[in-house]
Structure 1
Amino acid sequence: MPPLPMPSAWAGPLPEAAPPSDMALFQLPTGTYETRAVFAFRGGSFRDKRPFAATSVLVQHPKGDLLIDAGFGSQVDAHMQALPRIERAPHQLGHTVSEQFEASGYDRSRLRGVLVTHSHWDHVSGLDDLRLPIWINEGELQYAGHDKGGRVFREISVDHKIHQYAFKDGPYLGFSSSYDVYDDGSVVVVPAGGHTTGSVITFVTLPGGRRYAFIGDLTWQLDAIVRRSERPLMMRMLADTDPKLVREDMLRMIALAGVMRIVPSHDVSAYDGIPRLLD
């Protein structure tokens, strides 16, 4: 099938942002699991085995730090076993977020919580080792509470405080509503339901103007954005709650690819250039 139509590149002004000078961004890779490209995007090769990243992102901000997703935790083997057999994949656990905090001497009292792009196991496994509030919107909380894809989240989140946020701010880069975390435009979350009911995209603007879009599982690999290639039909039906919404948001992100760095959660190479907390 042909690629998605090429949308017009974003030509309008970018939203105003005033990130503080001491704001910073770090990646915390916690491991990988193996998936063939043929299952990740249309046109992918069966012979192309991809290491899918399980990486958390740390936003350091003077008003309090925030993690985007939690990566793999120390109990990832048990979490993997909780999945249907067809969804299990060879995986490799690196250092958990908690271990990286310990090794780097990071001050955990700075953390406000973990903002999850969505509640699937490979984004929340590391919550087991982090006694932090979980930042989640109402739509995703409902999905996590009832859908089979939220099973691991339901087990892990029992001992965590839930910080429920709402999209109380106005339109943002073509999305109908948004949530400005720090009220300075540096971290803005938008609803991107389609993969799960309450999936989100998190836009981050750093001092100096560099911009990132952490798109969760809107696509699994950056190839999908570059090639304008959706997930194969079978995977769309199995993995997405609303493939039409996923397609619409993909087109929005393709239009923005020229003005910011797009980071699908599971593309190892998409994190290139973001410093590691632990080197």
Structure 2
Amino acid sequence: MKGDYIKINRSLLEWGWYKDKNTSRLFIHMLLKANWKDGFFLGIEIKRGSFVSSLAKLSEETNLSVREIRTAIKHLESTGEVTSKKYNKFSVFTVNNYCSYQSSDTQSDKQPTSNRQAKIVTITYVYDGCYKVVEDDYAWTDEMLEGLAEDELTAEEAIILRGEMCEGRSCSRCKLSAYNNGTGITCNELAVKHPERYIEVLKQYKKDHEKKEIEVVKKTCCLVIDEKRTVVHEEEIDNHDSCEEVLKRYCEEHDGKFFAICESRYAVKE
């Protein structure tokens, strides 16, 4: 039955975090927890490859401490295996490229070609949302096949970006280093053995450091205040009416006199 098992490729043995027992353990656990099909949780769409959890829940399920879970997630996010989005009472974790990890073994008779990074690639397998190509060990998605030629870096840009990444920064903080590139090899080895991965890291650095338009988001917060006018509890809420429920819940759990105010806040979107 679908969803009863997961696939793990032997290439995991070459993964940079494989020997980090906490990080590799959490990643495999996330593969097991991830939804095999789209669903909903409290009105929020949870896509295939994502799942709802929390640091405390992951700690309980893996027998790792919350601190170890937090560190492992930072490792996985730093190399792009996992992303997460926080909500009021839970988080949604997403295993990036879940489709390529759990793709079917159906072979396609067609072998279309497409241009990416100024070269031709040959597709040998068509999976559920991604493709196996002759020229790369990794599965490709539609986004990787379309429109990336115009994003090419010139040799001059690549040299400048490499210099910016190295200048005044220790190797442990550099995305090209063995600590963070996901392969466990040095940046110079990465450039020789996996040039496409090397260029992708440079492109991502360029994208992350380009000047972006500032976006502002509005948040509604309920502040519970005691008799001394000290804020004793703060909680983000969906609307002003929810502030009453927050105050009631707090008063049920604490002795004393309290009142609540609702305020709107504007913050720069990260």
Give the TM-score band, short-chain normalised.
under 0.3
Q: TM-score normalised to the size of structure 1? A: 0.25
Relative contact order: is structure 1 or structure 2 higher (C-alpha 8 Å, sep ≥ 6)? 1
Please say which structure displays the higher CA radius of gyration: 2
Q: TM-score normalised to the size of structure 2? A: 0.26
Q: Answer 1 or 2: which has greater helix percent.
A: 2
